[in-house]
Structure 1
Amino acid sequence: MHERTPSRRRVLAGGVAAVIGATAGCLGGPLGGDDTGDADRVLRLTLDAVGETLRDRFVDDPTETEPTWDTAAFAAVRDGEHYTTQYRKPFFSTTDDPRYAVHDGTYYRLGSVVVDEAETTRPVLRLYDADGDAAESEPSDTAGAVEADALPPGDRRAVEIAHFAARARGNGGGVPIGLVERGGYVYRRPDAIDASSVLADDGPDRVAVRDTVYRIEVARERFYEPVYRATGTVIAESPERMEAILRAREVGARIAEGDLSPDAREVIESASHGGYEESHPYSEAYAAVLRALHERPYLDGNIESDGAGTESGAGTVRHAGRYYDYRLRFEPAG
């Protein structure tokens, strides 16, 4: 850890040593109620500035930046028209993680609802280790394998994802959630299917990926996919109202300049410039900051049990007119 941190810790604690001595027994260790290991670790606070408005972070403006979601769906909901997509949500939003957008000064919350089910057939690419297939018979002939980098872009992505599944097959490791499906890669984009050489009747039967040769297997399988209708709700017609909505949703703590002592403000300053850390028992300045962040489980009880199931340890705070993402974590003392 930084050498300046212990000295800062001593300076901050100097004026409140008597208070800490009187309260240390009440506070107890932040983990397990046992102070034995407290000297071997520190509680580190970091704050990352995210700007003066939350709108810049959470609201998309299609006139300024090309969004990753379906702009045609946004146009449809503004005009009161029905717009549907199959399998993928039009705005990639959920109830817990909504999408917001602005158009001509009006702010929308974007989402979708399932309105139907579609039956379809999709190509599924699976890869199998060619050397493994031949291990019990004779060495595999890898001379005819196509290099993954030589494939069309859609096939390169498909092979890369199917490679993850093949690598994990039979091992204890996992696979990328949301990418691997049915033990391989499912082609859904019409342009990728049309341009594919892997899916062609005369396509390659082997592919080389990162020094491993795989046997290619393509199956056309039945899928039942949801049909989503795009939704859009007007929630604000001014930047100030939108900002208030986002504050209510995203900000867990608000600290005004006058809420903290000079020593506590210095903790905030250090945390926003690389981080601040202390070992238990914490100085009154650090304890005041933790209370201002509403992170009392780190002070008032056993964070492993009392804080279990809570969202303690991270959040967004508004301080001195700016927003910060903060994080608390225990680290070994340096």
Structure 2
Amino acid sequence: MHDSSLSRRHVLASGLAAGLSVLAGCGGVGNDTATEGADTALRLSLAQVDGPLRERYVHEREEPDDNWDVQALDAALNDESYTTQLRKPFFADPDDPAYVVHEGTYYQLGSVIVDEVTETHPVLRLFEPAEDPERTIDGGEDGPLPEADQRAIQIAQMAARARGNAGGYPVGLVQRGGYVYRSETARNDSELLAEDGPDYVTYRDTTYEVAVSREQFHEPVYRPTAEPVADDPERMEAILTATFVGARVSQTDLSTEAQRILAEASADEYSETHPFSDAYAELLRALDKRAYIDGNIRKDAGVRSTQDEMIRYEDVYYEYILRFSTEPET
């Protein structure tokens, strides 16, 4: 185990950690003002979902999702005591549930918080050097650092690049403006965490100053759950449809022109600028996207720059995306 005493690098990090703010990336269009010389277009595209939803959302007990905690699955199905710390055992919540079928019964998987623990973990942050370093070390895949440190640098540099810039970084990877060493194996293998570790690293031709601090984290403790919800495929399909599918549309509900737009969006993409044609407005109403129809669409409550949802058209499922973009004036 490396010495946990604070070096100059650790002191630097502890002084800066409190002042760091989390920068979250935003998707879609970030400005409510249309680009000069361009009109705002609403684009629609569809992709057919092959087969029943069970094939997409339900896993066999013998073939669980690779991200699941298999021990948690066994415990939940057998009503045994088991907990996970920090991460949900099935990465599932009410808005994005997970399902498994076992001996003919379908279960919805989830978890409940049963406790909280306080842990201390090292946090790696990277900063622009205050002066030209005399010595640096390659932090990339071809460098000499252990794999755990290479991953830490790869993630921490995302936060370093994002400071002061629009665009953000992947919040699921970056935490507290850097990378958190939660694995004991990674901590033991790390050279960056050592008292005599490098003060500077280079990643993709950019040099960063290394800062390491040890900080407290309050982490939830989860108990896995498995709730039986169906005992036949048809009822399971109905549950999945109710959970994931929005509008149900049939050809008899649409005019010939609206059907043509839907076919074009399925084959490639369809777009119009506002004000929309009668057929496009008709289709948006059928999709229950009425808020897009009026003239102030980008400021309406509940209207995001991008929406990705699922519909059933006749007896076929489709994923569809509505997104704003700009089209140059011709």
TM-score range relative to shorter protein: 0.7 to 0.9
Output the TM-score relative to the length of structure 1: 0.75
Work out the CA distance in 1 between the residues paired with 2:170 and 2:64: 28
Correspondence 1:228 to 2:222: yes
Work out the CA distance in 2 between the residues paired with 1:157 and 1:84: 27
**Cα RMSD (Å):** 2.9
Shift of 1:65: 5.9
Work out the CA distance in 2 between the residues paired with 1:67 and 1:242: 22
C-alpha spacing 1:164/1:268, structure 2 compared with 1 (3 Å) = closer
C-alpha spacing 1:216/1:314, structure 2 compared with 1 (3 Å) = closer
Aligned residues: 289
8 Å Cα contact 2:116/2:218 also seen in 1 = yes
SS in 2 for 1:133: coil
Residue of structure 2 in register with 1:111 after alignment: 110
> Which of 114, 119, 130 is residue 133 of structure 1 equivalent to?
130
8 Å Cα contact 2:139/2:149 also seen in 1 = no
Work out the CA distance in 1 between the residues paired with 2:251 and 2:283: 12
> Which of 261, 264, 269 is residue 275 of structure 1 equivalent to?
269
Per-residue Cα deviation, 1:72-130 (whole angstroms, up to 9, x for no partner): 1111100001211111111112232222222233222111111112122212222233x
Work out the CA distance in 1 between the residues paired with 2:68 and 2:100: 11
Shift of 1:313: 5.5
Residue of structure 2 in register with 1:95 after alignment: 94
Residue of structure 2 in register with 1:159 after alignment: 153
Correspondence 1:239 to 2:233: yes
Shift of 1:180: 2.4
Output the TM-score relative to the length of structure 2: 0.76
Work out the CA distance in 2 between the residues paired with 1:41 and 1:225: 44
Shift of 1:140: 2.2
SS in 2 for 1:49: strand
Question: Structure 1 vs Structure 2: percent identity of aligned residues?
Answer: 50
Residue of structure 1 in register with 2:22 after alignment: none
SS in 2 for 1:122: strand
Question: Which is higher, the Rg of structure 1 or of structure 2?
Answer: 1
More helix by share: 1
Correspondence 1:86 to 2:123: no
8 Å Cα contact 2:244/2:310 also seen in 1 = yes
Per-residue Cα deviation, 1:169-196 (whole angstroms, up to 9, x for no partner): 4x24444323222332111122322332
Per-residue Cα deviation, 1:218-271 (whole angstroms, up to 9, x for no partner): 333332221111112111122211111111122111122333344332222111
Shift of 1:162: 1.8
8 Å Cα contact 2:274/2:295 also seen in 1 = no
State the AA in 2 paired with 1:56.
E
Residue of structure 2 in register with 1:16 after alignment: none
SS in 1 for 2:297: coil
Residue of structure 2 in register with 1:61 after alignment: 60
8 Å Cα contact 1:124/1:186 also seen in 2 = yes
SS in 2 for 1:219: strand
Unaligned ranges ≥5, structure 2? 1-35
Per-residue Cα deviation, 1:292-311 (whole angstroms, up to 9, x for no partner): 21223344675345x42257
8 Å Cα contact 1:60/1:67 also seen in 2 = no
C-alpha spacing 1:141/1:229, structure 2 compared with 1 (3 Å) = same
8 Å Cα contact 2:291/2:303 also seen in 1 = no
Per-residue Cα deviation, 1:46-92 (whole angstroms, up to 9, x for no partner): 21112232222222335346421211111110000121111111111
8 Å Cα contact 1:295/1:313 also seen in 2 = no
Per-residue Cα deviation, 1:144-180 (whole angstroms, up to 9, x for no partner): 52443222222111111222233344x2444432322
Work out the CA distance in 2 between the residues paired with 1:205 and 1:286: 59
Correspondence 1:121 to 2:115: no
Work out the CA distance in 1 between the residues paired with 2:133 and 2:122: 26
SS in 2 for 1:272: helix
Unaligned ranges ≥5, structure 1? 1-36
SS in 2 for 1:116: strand
> Which of 128, 137, 159 is residue 145 of structure 1 equivalent to?
137
Residue of structure 2 in register with 1:308 after alignment: 301
